[in-house]
Amino acid sequence: MSLTMTDVIWQPTGEYLNCRVTDFMKKNGIKDWQELVAKSTGDIEWFWQAALDYMGFVWDRPYDKLVDQSKGFEWTNWFLGGQLNIFKNCLDWQLATGRAVGNRTSVGRDHLAIIWEGDDGSSRRLTYGELHELSSRVAALLVKLGIGAGDSVGIYMPMVPEVVAVLFGCLKVGAVAVPIFSGFGDAPLVARLSDAETKVLFTADVGFRSGKEIAIKPNADKAAESLPQLEHIVVLKRSNRQTNWVEGRDLDWQEAIESVTEIPETAVLEAEHPSMYLYTSGTTGKPKGTVHTHGGALAQIAKELGFAFDVRSDDVFFWVTDIGWMMGPWEMIGVTFWGGTMVVFEGAPSYPQPNRIWEIVERYKVNTLGISPTVVRVLRPLGDEWTDKNSLSSLRLLGSTGEPWDPDSYMWFFNKVGQRRCPVINISGGTEIVGCLLQPLPVMPLKPCSLGAPGLGMDVDVFDEEGKPLRDAIGHLVCKKPGPSMTKGFLKDPDRYLDTYFSRFPNVWYHGDWAKVDKDGNWFLFGRSDDTIKVAGKRVGPGEVEAILIEHPAVAESAVIGVPHEVKGETIVCFVVPVPVAQPSAELSAELLDKVAKSLGGPLRPDKVYFVKALPKTRSGKILRSSIRKKYLGEPLGDLSSVENPDAFESIQSI
């Protein structure tokens, strides 16, 4: 099976041809999606003006000028003179039933906003009225603690309904939310909170995962020792565990929320006022603080969930994510903007049984399910019987992001989960965009593993080494025009921002991914360019080799690294997790080596295949190739607090 299969596996019919993006095209005299993509990327000012009008943004003051590039692409400003607040557009707007603006109609305070399911299967539900009330109380508490517009607030909490309220409470008063993965230890917590100069931190005493109670507050306490600017820690108590308490600094969530009396008005903010500092993931190097504005983040997120995912007010939307991954705020803002219902899940996808996700889909009649390719690669080898246990008939759209797909896993997701009737809206962008460079639309035919086309309004291209457009070959993913949600530099580090995105190709955003546009105009990704392995002058991405390995029926997961070689410069080393029924052997190893050589050619035949029980990953499902490489070479690993399963390094250590 080829990585870029040429067959179209899904064609839009019926309701998919009557989605929101179709309505947008009709109202703007556009005949098909090809013309829409071309016009939106060719004339970004037309597109964003038309999209904002159609989506029905609520402005406190309309902008005077859409975009200003007088300081260069790198420092583009948007919505000059305009004023708006995400909170007003998402929660204030929804309270009165039936208000209409643009293409949006508000759902009312009794409409369901959140369905929460805990690790143990317990459940809570919040209506829009209840979420608005709780978020407003958080906002009032922030004001009481002296937090004003522009002050940063840390969110170091598990996936509970309160985490959504804290995000929106920050947005309501103009504080800058700093979401942080609750599995981080104290060192990465210090790095982020210190960089953002955070004054207040929201956390919990514990989280729950795979039936275990995981302490969170002790990491916050340890971090606070190195954060003199941190004035208060608000703690959501969830267990009877004895918790360290610093009088005057620490506040009990329930008591603090109930103590507020006066709810502040939603702040009137400049459109370019910061809404969030989102830190890029990684276990080495100083984290990069990306800066996202109220206007820019809302424009991109609302566009993506409205046009690509066609979120409707009667939809139940479930993305398996964490608040510390950009998909958390992305989901929370986008779903509430369109008045849908989101599932917030605290737990592991395979606990207590491998059908946990499919149970949630059936129980809550989920319409859109978003999941990372790695999670699919974990669940698929456990057997189709787990997928067959639950009805998935409510699903209308599938979503994925985080890393490139291999064809076998993609087709399993499409065939078994989507039952060949749901398009896979496979998106890719990044924390620095709080959105997508590439994404399909429900009106597009799809090939396996495809990312459809450039995101609407995002002038994306593939360049060769000389900066010239490249077709039907793998090259560098770039963006040639600014988008409103692109980060306003890196917090306190403008030179690093310029070096990261604008040093390779002048006046062009260099994203760092390998990409390809095939002869039919379908887009594919092949992993990060900084992961590229160069064997005797021949380049190959780890994802290409991993996809070939996963095609073998004995392989559940794989990770590929490049290691130094005295003759070839680098050579390929493979780590393979066998399916439960497969037995590692010299014969299986030889089969896998031969399979790669047959597909990629003899010079790219890997040097070794090692069989391991698990691969180290982040909670969002990304395999930590760089950490695997360091462990294999005996180099220091650095901070591992973002690793979901650090014990996976043990089998690598034993090699």
- pLDDT tens, 193-243? 999 999 999 999 999 999 999 999 999 999 999 999 999 999 999 999 899
* 587: pLDDT strictly greater than 90: yes
CB 33, CB 444: distance < 8 Å = yes
Question: Whose CA is closest to 350, among 380, 317, 327?
Answer: 380
Cα(454)–Cα(431) distance, rounded to whole angstroms? 17
Cα(165)–Cα(219) distance, rounded to whole angstroms? 22
* 615: pLDDT strictly greater than 80: yes
* 653: pLDDT strictly greater than 90: no
pLDDT at 568 (0 to 100): 79
Overall average pLDDT of the 180-204 stretch = 92
pLDDT top residue among 154 and 546? 154
Q: How confident is the model at residue 655 (pLDDT cuts 50, 70, 90)?
A: confident
Whether this prediction's pTM lies above 0.85 is answered by: yes
Token pair 């209506």 in the structure block, residue: 127
Summarised one tens digit per residue, pLDDT across range 306-352 is 999 999 999 999 999 999 889 999 999 999 999 999 999 999 999 99
Cα(593)–Cα(589) distance, rounded to whole angstroms? 6
* 281: pLDDT strictly greater than 80: no
Token pair 């650095």 in the structure block, residue: 638
Overall average pLDDT of the 265-270 stretch = 98
Lowest mean pLDDT among 79-93, 403-417, 474-488: 403-417
pLDDT at 285 (0 to 100): 57
Overall average pLDDT of the 261-287 stretch = 86
pLDDT at 646 (0 to 100): 86
* 282: pLDDT strictly greater than 60: no
Summarised one tens digit per residue, pLDDT across range 351-386 is 999 999 999 999 999 999 999 888 898 899 899 999
pLDDT at 357 (0 to 100): 97
Summarised one tens digit per residue, pLDDT across range 117-176 is 999 999 999 999 999 999 999 999 999 999 999 999 999 999 999 999 999 999 999 999
Cα(632)–Cα(55) distance, rounded to whole angstroms? 51
CA 281 to chain centre: 11
Paired strand residues for 78: 67
pLDDT at 600 (0 to 100): 81
Overall average pLDDT of the 443-459 stretch = 97
* 35: pLDDT strictly greater than 70: yes
Overall average pLDDT of the 531-541 stretch = 75
Cα(570)–Cα(14) distance, rounded to whole angstroms? 51
Token pair 């080393």 in the structure block, residue: 573
pLDDT at 320 (0 to 100): 95
Type of residue at 272: E
* Domains detected in the chain: 122-274 (3.40.50.980), 532-653 (3.30.300.30)
Q: How confident is the model at residue 2 (pLDDT cuts 50, 70, 90)?
A: very low
Type of residue at 461: D
Type of residue at 475: G
Q: How confident is the model at residue 283 (pLDDT cuts 50, 70, 90)?
A: very low
Interior CA angle at 111 toward 110 and 113, to 5°? 115
* 284: pLDDT strictly greater than 50: no
Averaged pLDDT of the chain: 93
Q: How confident is the model at residue 537 (pLDDT cuts 50, 70, 90)?
A: low
Q: How many residues does the chain have?
A: 655
pLDDT at 3 (0 to 100): 41
Overall average pLDDT of the 412-417 stretch = 97
What is the share, in percent, of the chain residues with pLDDT greater than 90? Answer: 80
Q: How confident is the model at residue 287 (pLDDT cuts 50, 70, 90)?
A: confident
